[in-house]
Structure 1
Amino acid sequence: MSVNKKSLCPALLSGMFGFAMLINAAQGAPHYPLTLENCGHQETFNHPPRRVVTLGQHETELLLALGLEKTIVGTAVWFGRLPPDLQSRGKGLKKLANNAPGFEAVAAQNPELVLAQYSWHLGPQGEVATREQFEDLGIRTWISPADCIGKSVANSSNADGARTVPFSIDYIQREISELARIFNVEARGAALNEALAGRIATARKRVKHQNTAPLKVMFWFSSSRLNGDPWVAGSDGAPGWISQTLGLQNIINSHDEWPAVSWEHIVRSQPDIIVIAAMDRRLYPADDVAAKQRFLLSDPVTSQMPAVKKGHIVIVPAMSLNPSLRNVDAIELISQQIAAFAEKS
């Protein structure tokens, strides 16, 4: 039977993880040294890491969801608040920076392991450092498999890159299982994966018979200028998986994860639904979700799109549109809104 993690109270969740710990103990510790392949690197662990720095909110949330908050000695690269079910576990986390920290700031935490959500933070031209720089200090490194499997990242240290294979939630579930092995909490990883699968199945059922033809959708993350070309989701990234899961048609056909596309092209495509990202980050004018909404409603061109005229605008956390645990949050929120739109029509 699938477990809906969101429906579990904190006490029950705590009990579930406690039971998982007993199972892990009964099974015995995995054989160390444990060697796993990660994004072209072989990483060997002689014991479960005790001190970890996370570069990317997904990595932070994944460790919290596995009950490993006591291992986190520093975090960085934040888009917004933690989801409600993880806020108590994440209380008091040390933030080294809201965006990318310096190499020295990370190394000063004396981590045994640095987890990165994005290749550009630890890649060959890493914005924080290269993997080799950390390895030279005896610090293991890890990049989320979702950011390297089936994906080419441009040489620029701050490029989203393009996908050669469409993203799937399987990449996130693989990472859950692998990190659960590294930290010797495999039963917790299995429980988390089962909970995610159950939530996905429920969201699919919610929209299964809502429409005879696929609704056209556009995902707007941000823009360097509100009236400039917006960064919208290509067809092969996490929003592509979200669209496919819910039976939607992404109007942007591109292997790039977040290409810049003209408003003229978007308007011609006539999206039925517009999904916009909400975030606390303020690097660009369109990081502000309210600014995005005002633009859509006031611009003489965008205001004539079916999605805007009908009020079919869905707001989701920015983290839920990048490969992460939160992709499941996005399909839940979007499926709920689609059902609500159908009831009103």
Structure 2
Amino acid sequence: MLLSRLATLVTALGLSTLAHAAPTHYPLTVENCGSTLTFEQAPSRAVTIGQAGTEMLFALGLGNTLVGTSLWFNEVLAQYKTANDPIPRLADNEPSFEAVIGKRPQLVAVELEWMVGPQGVVGTREQFHELQIPTYLMPSDCEAKDNLVGADGTRLEAFRIDSIYKSISQLAEIFDVQERGRQLNDELKASLARSVATVQDKDLKHTSALFWFSSASLDIDPYVAGHKGIPDFMLNTLGVRNVVQSDEEWPTVGWETIAKANPTFLVIARMDRRRFPADDHLKKLAFLRSDPVTRNMDAVKNNRIIILDAMAMQASVRMFDGLATLASAIDGYDLPK
């Protein structure tokens, strides 16, 4: 199974490198998550609501267009720190509608629909569009997903990696850097293929895992990854089973239920955000090793705990580094048969 997935990935990568992207012709019309966006020229001023979009624009070489960022889980990737330092951070979490429009953006790139959407905490798309400010919503959070059900939405279909490539291609087209978009997608596809190759010789048919993002309080049920979201895609790509079966993006599940499922290893989020106590990965580790339920789980007793940046659990360029870290850790385990 892993060999066939690897072959498919390599074939897709080889075919994509044969093509060269054409320059953008304006006016450009882009269909995005139920909205039609029209650009008369490449935007010169952009605001991001979500770190995934921020780092995606940096990866496309478009940091000079950013006039404001918001919604950060981790510090910016080291290679983008110099470019990021002078850009105003409008908010660590959600910015106000006024703060965003005050930057006079020609594009607002949005990672999560609950930020800008029908019940957006920042505003609705219509509010922005009435001011002639186009909002680009990441397809990974709107396609085959109902964001009105569950705290972070519910997946109607499994997350597809193509949605990240689509974001990159569309943003590259909007900003007229299509060749860089093609190159970036090829780099990410190659990284994914290397991760699959890392574990292709491992027997993982009895291996399972749990992704723990955070908890509103350490003494209540944790937010864990559902079985159709981004972390589940990461596990499936490597041939590992997610012990959580909920369609919600980040459902809460009791530790007694998790302990009964007894995942082979745990993946916990490291973040710089401090909205909840469990945002601190060191507090997660201390809890797992001291709680009478969790400390007896095989993954805890055998120290099979993998730490990933929170952004590596999102539909972002960081996800590919997270997948590589995950594959390397799994490859190093002496797993039970």
Q: TM-score, normalised by structure 2?
A: 0.91
Shift of the alpha carbon at 1:85? 2.9
Distance 1:197 1:316 in 2: 20
Q: Distance in 2 between matches of 1:344 and 1:218?
A: 16
Q: 1:20 corresponds to which residue?
A: none
Work out whether 1:203 is the aligned partner of 2:203: no
Distance 1:125 1:232 in 2: 23
Give the whole-Å Cα distance in 2 for the aligned partners of 1:57 and 1:72: 12
Cα displacement (A) at 1:86:
2.7
Pairing 1:68–2:62 present: yes
Aligned length: 318
**Which of 141, 146, 156 is the equivalent residue of 1:152?**
146
Aligned to 2:14: none
Q: 1:343/1:234 Cα in 2 relative to 1: closer, same or farther (>3 Å)?
A: closer
> Is 1:310 aligned with 2:306?
no
Letter in 2 for 1:225: S
1:45 is matched with which residue: 34, 39, 47? Answer: 39
> Which amino acid is 2:83 matched to?
R
Query: In structure 1, the residue corresponding to 2:186 is in which secondary structure?
Result: helix
**Pairing 1:106-121 to 2, within 5 Å after superposition:** 106-121=100-115
Task: State the partner residue of 2:287.
Answer: 295
Deviation digits for residues 127-172 of structure 1, max 9, x if unmatched? 111111111111111110000001001168xx31000110021100
| Residues 53 and 73, structure 1, Cα contact 8 Å, conserved in 2 | yes
SS state of the match for residue 121, structure 1?
Answer: coil
Query: Contact 2:204/2:239 (CA < 8 Å) preserved in 1?
Result: no
Partner of 1:9: none
2:237 alignment partner, one of 227, 238, 245: 245
**Mapping of residues 100-139 of structure 1, within 5 Å:** 100-139=94-133
Please list every run of 5 or more consecutive structure 1 residues that lacks an aligned counterpart in the other structure: 1-22
Find the residue that maps to 1:319 and give its secondary structure.
helix
What amino acid maps onto 1:38 in structure 2? N
Q: Please name the residue that 1:17 is paired with.
A: none
What is residue 327 of structure 1 aligned with on the other side? Answer: 319
Q: Are the equivalent residues in 1 in contact too, given 2:210–2:243 (CA < 8 A)? A: yes
- Aligned amino acid, residue 196 of structure 1: L
Give the corresponding residue for 1:55: 49
Q: 1:220 aligns with which of 212, 235, 248?
A: 212
Most deviating of 80-89 and 306-315: 80-89
Name the CA distance, whole Å, in 1 between partners of 2:245 and 2:116.
29
Question: Pick from 167, 171, 174: which aligns with 2:163?
Answer: 171
Question: 1:89 offset after TM fit, Å?
Answer: 3.1
* CA offset digits 1:31-87 (Å, max 9, x no partner): 211111111000001100000000000000000000000000000000011222333
8 Å CA contact 2:24–2:178 kept in 1: the answer is: no
Paired with 1:34 and 1:139, the residues of 2 have a C-alpha distance of 15
The equivalent position to 1:266 in structure 2, one of 238, 258, 271, is 258
**DSSP-derived class of the 1:174 partner:** helix
Q: Following TM superposition, by how much is the alpha carbon of 1:214 offset from its aligned partner in structure 2, in angstroms?
A: 3.6
Structure 1 residue 227, shift from structure 2 partner: 2.1
TM-score normalised per structure 1? 0.89
- Which secondary structure state, in structure 1, belongs to the residue aligned with residue 135 of structure 2? strand
Is it true that 1:337 corresponds to 2:319 in the alignment? no
Determine the C-alpha separation between the residues in 1 that align with 2:36 and 2:154.
24
**1:97 paired to 2:102:** no
Distance, in Å, in 1 between the alignment partners of 2:40 and 2:147 is: 31
Q: Among 81, 84, 105, which residue is 2:78 paired with? A: 84
**Aligned to 1:126, what secondary structure does the other structure show?**
coil
Structure 2 CA distance for aligned equivalents of residues 212 and 334 of structure 1: 13
- Equivalent residue letter for 2:334: A
Paired residues of 2:105 and 2:133 also in contact (CA < 8 A)? yes
Moved over 4 A (4+): none
> Do residues 33 (structure 1) and 46 (structure 2) align?
no
C-alpha separation in 2, matches of 1:180 and 1:214: 41
238-247 or 128-137: bigger deviation: 128-137
Contact preservation (8 Å) 2:266, 2:299: yes
Q: Is the 8 A contact 2:269 2:309 kept in 1?
A: yes
8 Å Cα contact 1:153-1:160 kept in structure 2: yes
- For the aligned residue pairs, the C-alpha RMSD in angstroms reads 1.7
CA contact (8 A) 2:43 2:175 kept: yes
Shift of 1:322: 1.6
